Amino acid sequence: MTGTVYAVGGTTKSPALSHPHLHFQFMNRFTHAEIVLGLLTGLEPPACAEALVLDRDRLIQLLKNALYELHDLRRQLDGRPAHRDIVERIRYLDGVLGWIKEQRGPDLVLMS
């Protein structure tokens, strides 16, 4: 990877940045011109996916992490108006997590 990295904090030669910034010499760009030209000339776009296959264990871990963060936020917002909204989100995600845990197999298939 070639590029210039600016240090966080800044100096007289470079401004202060909240995060490191990279300048790359080459950028790989993807053009959507073929899709747009196809639509303009009357060709049909590719079909949408009919199903989404998710790794069940990773989805469970993702939901557990989200619930952990929401519970932490709930404790911080105790007594404030936003507390009720956070509790509703927790209940919803807890229900989704319970349903996913009841499913068997390594993958979860969502159909449209």
pLDDT at 104 over 70: yes
Q: Who's near 82: CB < 8 A, 6+ residues apart?
A: none
pLDDT class of 94 with cuts at 50, 70, 90: very high
Q: Give the integer Cα–Cα distance in Å for 57 and 38.
A: 39
Q: What confidence tens digit (pLDDT) does each residue in 25-43 have?
A: 455 555 566 666 666 666 6
Helix (H) or strand (E) holding 54: strand 51-55
DSSP state of 20: -
Task: Annotate 38-56 with b (16+ C-beta within 10 A) or e (fewer).
Answer: eeeeeeeeeeeeeeeeeeb
Compute CA 53 distance to the chain's CA centroid, rounded to the nearest angstrom.
Answer: 16
Predicted confidence (pLDDT) per residue in 57-82, tens digit: 999 999 999 999 999 999 999 999 99
Structure token pair of residue 40:
């303009």
pLDDT confidence tier of residue 50, bands split at 50, 70 and 90: confident
The confidence score (pLDDT) of residue 58 equals 94
Q: What percent of the chain has pLDDT over 90?
A: 46
